[in-house]
Amino acid sequence: MKPYPLEKQMKTLDKEEKNLLDSIENDEWISDYETSEQFESRKTELMKAARNTLNIHNDLKEIEIIIHLPQNVFQKIRTSAEKSGIHYQNWIINTLQKMAEIA
């Protein structure tokens, strides 16, 4: 799916987003870095970390499984996931990974 054109995205900004954009455009932000060398060093460090993260995820092979659950069990899972603030599928994956680490 193609992203909306930038002009259309700008029209949909809420008040907080517009204030943030204005503050950036008015140079109200102060850099954490005193020199461009510090910035470039940190940028290189973060890019390396991102690459390593992607490589780790690329090495992981996923297997799809199908499970059948009683509806009341599924509802309990969804409720727990909602309390955790994550999607129920992610909650199931996290729980299974924790169980696998214990085993």
Task: Count the domains in the chain.
Answer: 1
Q: Are 53 and 64 in contact (CB under 8 A)?
A: no
Indicate yes or no: pTM above 0.85.
no
Q: Print the domain residue range for 69.
A: 34-102
Query: Is there a domain that residue 23 lies in?
Result: no
pLDDT at 4: 66
Cα–Cα distance for residue pair 80/76, rounded to 1 Å: 6
Greatest mean pLDDT among 1-5, 8-12, 48-52: 48-52
CA 75 to chain centre: 25
The three-state secondary structure class of 13 is coil
Task: Report the C-alpha gap between 102 and 96 in whole angstroms.
Answer: 10
| 14-43: pLDDT as tens digits | 899 889 988 988 888 888 888 889 999 999
Name 93's Cβ contacts closer than 8 Å, sequence gap at least 6: none
Is 2 a member of any domain? no
Contact 78, 88 (CB under 8 A): yes
pLDDT at 79: 96
Amino acid at 28: E
Binned at pLDDT 50, 70 and 90, residue 54 comes out as: confident
Is residue 79 in some structural domain?
yes
